[in-house]
Amino acid sequence: MSTHYDRLSPLDASFLALESRTTHMHVGAVTIFEAGPLSEDGGVDFAKVRSHIASRLHLIPRYRQRLAWVPLEQHPVWVDDEHFNLDYHVRHIALPHPGSEEQLKQLAGRIMSQQLDRAKPLWEITVVEGLVDGGFALISKTHHCMLDGVAGVDLMAVLLSPVPSDEIEPPPPWEPRPAPNGTELLVKEASRRISRVLASATHIREIPGDIGSVVGDVAHRLRAVGASLTSGWLVPADASPLNGQVGPNRRFDWLRSDLAEVKTIKNLLGGTVNDVVLTTVAGGVRRFLLEHRGLSEELLAEMEFRVMAPVSVRSSSGGGTLGNQVAMWLVPLPVGEPDPVRRMEIIQAETERLKATDQALGAATIVRMSAGAPLTLVSLGARLAANARPFNMTVTNVPGPQFPLYLLGSRLEATYPLVPLWEGHGVGIALFSYAGGLFWGLNGDYDLMPDLAGFAAALGLAVEELHDAAAEAVARRTDEEMADEPQASSSDGGRKTTKAPERPPLGTR
């Protein structure tokens, strides 16, 4: 049998390079299920869950692969793990009585504080029983070099189903493909580079005479690269109480918003759901820094607080493909602006500017330009970017299905995602929308964010504040428009009356 390996992309490799003792580069989630057919007397049928995962692994082959390294250049590659053992990756634990939500958050924080073993496939799932309402949870952890949030939606679809069913298909036989040894890797990689150069030369000869479209595309990409580089990536962000030296330990917290309420805000004020999310984060950061960290209005007004918002550049045909296909937006948040509606207007204008200048394309092009660079240079660039701290926080928002999903017969009630903390970042925010809910996962450094629950509460209040302010602004605008309109005559004694237009419905809380 011939040997097999897959080379990591430059972006995937950079997530390995960024990892340190205190900077864990895994993504994850806490998914909570109702007490359904899998629950028995307050417990959970772990053997059935394990068998179900085993039956689906052939659909996600990366989950049975480990890292290997090309000699000399030390670039990472994926090879099949000849010692793969599912029992190491799928674990089982019970919460002590009473099995509260707070206990589940503490357990998630401890699990997320532990790095994945690079000698094995880079993922774990912990099945947690003993929740107070009889349900159970899965705490999942996967290294960022394996997948991004949009690919993660595809992975969730592998284990979950839109219909309840307790049928488990027998897994197909799996035989690990032999991994090349060091010499074979070195020879194969040298051959790959030579073939790529020859293919490029052939492609150049085949370019048609009319190369205007090619030149135009290159010019477009160069302009996007310039816009991306000048957007603040080369300048450190202002210091804030949410930034500082991180340790290895984590806290995890969460909150849930109604997606209908968020969409109502979007419909009232315009923009996108992501604009509402970023405006909510701006309001939550503002409230938290004022009320929990004692900052003054004057300091907030002077602060430029930036977030990095990953944007998917995965094509519509890229679903089901592992690996990272994301670029990054750098978005300044108006935390010094006291008016929530004005904050929304500022963020709308900024995201429109980012779209107009194709900054996602620029960032993606920069990553592609690094494809031929040695890993040592890619690693150095990644670490320099992280240490420069050009942004204060990561905020990633992944859309999910708006219909119920089931693990075997148990309905998924909530899923709270986790994004890694970069060096110098005290908290990161990840969101996932599902079945009418918007689920916020907050990953915080244990020492920098002892009041992470207070930050979660501030975000919840920011949603309410923005919703109420949007409704008031639209009502005020409607009243002003009514006052400007000429009154219509009625047939009732010559009196003049005006009929007010219906106001937009408000979302539920």
Q: List the beta bridge partners of residue 69.
A: 76
Tokens representing 331?
A: 């978005």
> Of all helices (H) and strands (E), which one includes residue 275?
helix 273-291
List, for residues 22-57, the tens digit of each pLDDT value. 999 999 999 999 988 887 776 899 999 999 999 999
Q: Do 331 and 307 form a contact (C-beta atoms < 8 A)? A: yes
Q: Name which of 58-62, 468-472, 491-495 the model is least confident about.
A: 491-495
- The arithmetic mean of pLDDT across residues 68-75, rounded, is 88
For the purposes of burial, counting CB atoms within 10 Å of the CB of 242, is it exposed (0-12), middle (13-18) or buried (19 or more)? buried
CA distance 338 to 301: 9
Domains of the chain, CATH where assigned:
6-182 (3.30.559.10), 217-472 (3.30.559.30)
List, for residues 253-290, the tens digit of each pLDDT value. 999 999 999 999 999 999 999 999 999 999 999 999 99
- Outline where 303-442 has alpha helix (H): 340-356, 359-369, 375-388
Determine the pLDDT at residue 359: 57
Determine the pLDDT at residue 196: 58
CA distance 423 to 389: 8
Report whether pLDDT(223) > 60: no
Determine the pLDDT at residue 9: 84
- Which long-range contacts link 460-464 to residues 24+ away (Cβ below 8 Å)? 460/255, 460/257, 461/283, 461/284, 461/287, 462/280, 462/281, 462/282, 462/283, 462/284, 462/286, 462/287, 462/340, 463/257, 463/261, 463/262, 463/280, 464/509
Determine the pLDDT at residue 206: 52
Q: Do 121 and 78 form a contact (C-beta atoms < 8 A)? A: no
Determine the pLDDT at residue 231: 55
Determine the pLDDT at residue 317: 46
List, for residues 122-143, the tens digit of each pLDDT value. 999 999 999 998 899 999 999 9
CA distance 63 to 140: 13
Report whether pLDDT(379) > 90: no
Per-residue pLDDT band for 189 (boundaries 50, 70, 90) equals: confident
Give the 3-state secondary structure of residue 339.
coil
- CA angle 487/493/495 to nearest 5° reads 20
Report whether pLDDT(366) > 90: no
CA 452 to mean position of chain CA atoms: 19
Is the N-terminal amide bond of 162 cis, ω within 30° of 0?
no
Per-residue pLDDT band for 195 (boundaries 50, 70, 90) equals: low
0.85 surpassed by pTM:
no
Determine the pLDDT at residue 74: 85
Report whether pLDDT(181) > 50: yes
